[in-house]
Amino acid sequence: MLKWQVGKVKITQLVELTTASLGPHLLPQATPEVLGAIDWMAPFTDENNRLLLSMHSLIVESEGRTVMVDTCIGNDKERNYPRWNYMQSDFLQRFAAAGFACERVDTVLCTHMHVDHVGWNTRLQDGRWVTTFANADYLFAEREWAHWRHEEQEYGPVIEDSVQPVFDAGQAVLVKQNHQVTSEVWLEPTPGHTPGHVSVHIQSAGEEAVITGDMVHHPCQIPHADWSSLADHDPAQAAATRQDFVERYADQPVLIIGTHFAGPTAGRIVRDGDSFRLDY
C-alpha cells in the first residue's frame, strides 16, 4: 500500500491484485525483448521482462470528502476471464486494514465502466447485488453511460451486476467530463480508451497530480504513446490523447499516478533525449 500527499490532499493506493498475464492481450507491441532494453522499466515488469499490471483503487481525501477512484474487479461475479471468474479476494479486508470503512466513502468515481474499474461498486448480499458504499454518490460521466448502456460487453454482465444496481439504488450521478468534485479535485476528459473516459486532476497548496485511469495502462506507453491497447475503443484517439498528455506534463512538477502502474505506481514525466520516461 502506497500513499502520497499532494498539498492538503491525501491519496492511498489499495491493491486488489497484480498480474503479468494480461500484457499480450493489451499491448502486444511491448514484448519482453523491447521492455528489457529500456533501462528504467524494471519496477514495472516481472523477472521475465513481461508487463506487470496492478489492479488498484485510489482513495482521495480532500476537504473532508473521501473519494474512491475506481473499484477494481470485485468478488462473486461471472466473468469471461478465468482468474476473475467468481473471484474471491480480501479487498474489503485490506480496505479496513488501511483504516477506512465503507460507510466513510461519500463519493465513488469511476474513470470508465470497464470490468476492472467498477467491480466493487457492488457486492453480493442475500443473493442480490447491493452497493458496497451505501453513503456514497457514484459519479459516472454522462458520455460513458450513454455508450455502455447499449454496448455489448466482452467480460460478462458487468453493467448488470456492477453499474445498473447503483442506478437502481438511486446512488448514480451522471456528470460532465470536467466535473468539479471538490475545489482540489476535478475530472478531465481523456477519451479514446472509452468514449467518456476521464482522468482525475488534483491541485492543492501549490502541488499537483493526475490519476491517469486507462488513458495509459503501463509506463512503456510514455516513450511509446502510439502503442494503443487492444482494449481501446478508438486506438487513434487514444494515442493522440496520450501523446498530448505526455507532452503537456513532460518536465512539469506534476505527479502522475498510474491506475495500473505496478512498482512505485507514480512519478514525473521527463524528457529523455528525443523521447520521454517516467522519473520515479
In this structure, the dihedral spanned by the alpha carbons of residues 225, 228, 233 and 238, taken in order and rounded to 10 degrees, is 10
- Average pLDDT of the segment spanning 209-217: 98
Mean pLDDT, residues 14-23: 94
> In this structure, are residues 194 and 149 in contact, taking their beta carbons and an 8 Å threshold?
no
pLDDT for 25 beyond 90: no
How high is the pLDDT of residue 258? 98
| Residue 103 pLDDT > 90 | yes
**Average pLDDT for 160-184:** 98
Closest CA to 212 of 182, 268, 256, 271: 256
- Distance, C-alpha 155 to centroid of its chain: 17
Tell me the sheet residues that pair with 200: 187, 211
In the chain the domains, ranked by start, together with CATH numbers, are 3-279 (3.60.15.10)
Q: Cell numbers at residue 8, please?
A: 492538503
Residue 11 has a pLDDT of 98
- Residues 67-86 have pLDDT tens digits of 999 999 999 999 999 999 99
